[in-house]
């Protein structure tokens, strides 16, 4: 049975592309008349490779009976070095000065920061400067500390660069948007402003041109997953054109045939094949280099950190709908990771099945105040998660210790909780209250020795196919954000991939599984050499 693929075979198979009104041909002819400073063709003519030409024809050729363009959004995901910026700049000029222009059109180059946005802008500006005809009908404003703009004297249209780290572009009515490297954008504000403005005028086009990103949450992941759904036929939307040059299942990262498949420019000299071979040699001996090579040079979208601890194909296959009543009969260990600055708190329950399987059930807490800014910073949909009951919002700017304590007491009243593991550094008061009421509080200090063993225990449970879970997206996101560093003694250090990543759920899960493992080995807080012991004063 064949497996459906996201690969855009139409780009290279010479199959017919509808162009009933000749608009695709018109667009190609305009681009071929442009000039590029790096071109090796006579008169520095803009060089449009056959695969690029077919992309242009596929965007602008298919039309509705009234002549309006069918495609309104393009998701072009392509590895580094395939000249996506040059193509995007040429398309922008097609809308600024070419046959796709409209009166007073607004062409936007949008990127994560001013420097990145300026790359596409300068590419377009250099193309204009190569042709006196275009230079004569435009003014280029490229001051270092001022908005970068190209203004057209033909009809009042303009091209400008904006960044997601600046003020949102509310009030704009863009006719063409290039969203560059969207996986690096911070928050959704710029995207939402540009898309809401685009519906004010007919015929708008958004081209998302990006390399692969990482993770399953956030704007880029949402757009990527939607494009995949369209490519696979799971979503019907003829207005979205997915062009996903990414490896397919079974493709090997060191297979040069795969390199050629996902890098359509290779037959035409870009990127450089010898350069790819050099990078691949380094990647063969370095896991981090390999992940970088696969992401940026082969365009593989990873759902996890650069140096993952867990096998997520295994993890995802271990999703089950456990009956809560059945869990009540199983011994349970709790791991609690309290927040240092009020950002996020996780309580994870680990249930031991008689056959050695372990079910994880998490609870998460986040301050409800300023939730939008928190979501933008962390790149995750806290409000959406809260609406679905996946995370609890605490009133105010910090997490209520009482809310966390109430949840722990509820878990102890419902399940056969054997131990509640805390790092005492942040939990003295809550541990004291629970201890005074006879609840089984233990110390699990988050030092390298204890957490190294805890991380190894969690890795064994997950990768050994003993894990059970209900698919909780926050827990998966935290596990996927773990960067693993292994010591010579075999211990595992769990770190965040970047400052804004959250791994609280992974830490709490490791604490719970660590205490569960000690319990199954008949070790306790009294005889475990790594334990801080029962909580005492």
Residue 79 confidence (pLDDT): 97
Q: How far is Cα 97 from Cα 94, in angstroms, rounded to an integer?
A: 6
Residue 33 confidence (pLDDT): 95
Residue 342 confidence (pLDDT): 64
Q: Tell whether the model's pLDDT for residue 253 goes beyond 80.
A: yes
Residue 306 confidence (pLDDT): 62
Higher-confidence residue of 171 and 475: namely 475
Q: Tell whether the model's pLDDT for residue 527 goes beyond 90.
A: no
% of the chain with per-residue pLDDT over 90: 66
Assigned CATH for 312-520: 3.30.420.240
Asked if 252 and 258 touch (Cβ cutoff 8 Å), the reply is yes
Single pTM value for the model? 0.71
Q: How far is Cα 120 from Cα 73, in angstroms, rounded to an integer?
A: 18
Asked if 363 and 408 touch (Cβ cutoff 8 Å), the reply is no
> How does DSSP classify residue 294?
I
Q: How far is Cα 262 from Cα 241, in angstroms, rounded to an integer?
A: 17
> Average of pLDDT values for 99-121?
91
In terms of CATH architecture, what is 68-244?
3-Layer(aba) Sandwich (3.40)
pLDDT tens for each residue of 25-63: 999 999 999 999 988 889 899 999 999 999 999 999 999
Q: Which residues pair with 349 in a beta bridge?
A: 334, 361
Q: What is residue 300's three-state secondary structure?
A: coil
Q: Tell whether the model's pLDDT for residue 13 goes beyond 60.
A: yes
pLDDT tens for each residue of 434-467: 999 999 999 999 888 899 899 989 999 999 999 9
What are the sequence ranges of the domains in the chain? Answer: 68-244, 256-297, 312-520
* pLDDT confidence tier of residue 537, bands split at 50, 70 and 90: very low
Residue 115 confidence (pLDDT): 85
SS (H, E, C) 206-264: EEEEECCCECCCCHHHHHHHHHHHHHCCCCCCCCEEEEECCCCCCCCCCCHHHHHHHCC
Higher-confidence residue of 486 and 19: namely 19
Per DSSP (E only), the strands in 328-405 are 331-337, 345-352, 358-367, 392-394
Can you list the alpha helix ranges (DSSP code H) found in 335-485?
Answer: 371-378, 382-387, 401-414, 424-436, 448-463, 473-480
* pLDDT confidence tier of residue 100, bands split at 50, 70 and 90: very high
Q: How far is Cα 304 from Cα 299, in angstroms, rounded to an integer?
A: 14
Residue 430 confidence (pLDDT): 94
Angle at 516 between CA 515 and CA 518, to 5 degrees: 65
Q: Tell whether the model's pLDDT for residue 531 goes beyond 60.
A: no
| 203 torsion bin: left (phi>0), alpha (psi -120 to 50), beta (else) | left
Q: Tell whether the model's pLDDT for residue 488 goes beyond 80.
A: no
Average pLDDT in the chain:
89
> Average of pLDDT values for 84-90?
94
How distant is the alpha carbon of residue 510 from its chain centre? 24
């Amino acid at each position: 049975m064949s497996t459906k693929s996201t690969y855009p075979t139409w780009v290279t198979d010479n199959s017919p592309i509808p162009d009933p009104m000749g608009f695709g041909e018109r667009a190609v002819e305009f681009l071929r008349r442009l000039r590029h400073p790096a071109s090796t063709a006579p008169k520095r003519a803009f060089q449009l490779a056959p695969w690029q030409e077919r992309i242009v024809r596929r965007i602008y050729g298919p039309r509705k009976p009234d002549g309006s363009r069918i495609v309104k959004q393009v998701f072009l995901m392509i590895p580094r070095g395939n000249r996506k910026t040059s193509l995007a700049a040429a398309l922008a000029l097609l809308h600024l000065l070419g046959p796709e222009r409209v009166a007073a059109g607004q062409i936007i180059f949008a990127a994560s920061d001013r420097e990145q946005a300026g790359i596409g802008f300068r590419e377009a500006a250099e193309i204009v400067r190569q042709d006196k005809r275009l230079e004569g009908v435009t003014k280029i404003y490229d001051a270092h500390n001022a908005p970068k703009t190209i203004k057209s004297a033909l009809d009042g249209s303009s091209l400008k660069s904006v960044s997601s780290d600046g003020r949102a572009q509310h009030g704009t009515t863009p006719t063409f948007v290039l969203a560059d490297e969207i996986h690096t954008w911070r928050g959704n504000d710029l995207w939402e402003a540009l898309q809401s403005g685009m519906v004010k005028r007919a015929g708008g086009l958004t081209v998302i041109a990006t390399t692969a990103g990482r993770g399953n949450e956030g704007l880029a992941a949402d757009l990527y997953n939607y494009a995949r759904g369209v490519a696979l036929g799971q979503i019907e939307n003829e207005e979205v054109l997915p062009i996903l040059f990414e490896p397919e299942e079974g493709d090997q990262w060191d297979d040069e045939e795969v390199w050629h498949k996902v890098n359509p420019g290779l037959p035409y000299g870009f990127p450089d094949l010898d350069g790819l071979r050099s990078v691949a040699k380094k990647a063969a001996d370095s896991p981090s280099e390999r992940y970088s090579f696969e992401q940026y040079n082969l365009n593989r979208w990873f759902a996890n950190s650069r140096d993952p601890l867990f096998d997520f194909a295994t993890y995802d296959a271990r999703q089950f709908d456990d009956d809560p009543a059945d869990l009540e009969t199983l011994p349970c260990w709790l791991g609690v990771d309290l927040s240092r600055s009020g950002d996020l708190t996780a309580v994870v329950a680990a249930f031991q099945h008689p056959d050695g399987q372990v079910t994880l059930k998490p609870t998460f807490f986040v301050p409800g105040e300023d939730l939008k800014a928190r979501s933008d910073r962390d790149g995750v949909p806290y409000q959406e998660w809260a609406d679905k009951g996946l995370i609890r919002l605490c009133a105010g700017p910090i997490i209520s210790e009482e809310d966390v304590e109430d949840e722990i007491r509820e878990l102890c009243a419902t399940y056969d909780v054997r131990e509640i593991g805390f790092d005492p550094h942040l939990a003295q008061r809550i541990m004291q209250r629970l201890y005074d009421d006879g609840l089984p509080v233990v110390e699990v200090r988050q030092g390298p020795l204890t957490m190294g063993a805890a991380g190894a225990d969690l890795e064994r449970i997950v990768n050994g196919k003993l894990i059970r879970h209900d698919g909780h997206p926050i827990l998966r996101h935290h596990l996927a954000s773990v960067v693993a560093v292994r010591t010579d003694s075999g211990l595992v250090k769990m770190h965040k991939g970047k400052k804004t990543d959250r791994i609280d759920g992974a830490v709490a899960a490791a604490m719970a599984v660590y205490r569960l493992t000690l319990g199954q080995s008949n070790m306790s807080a009294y005889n475990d050499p790594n334990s801080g012991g029962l909580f005492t004063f």
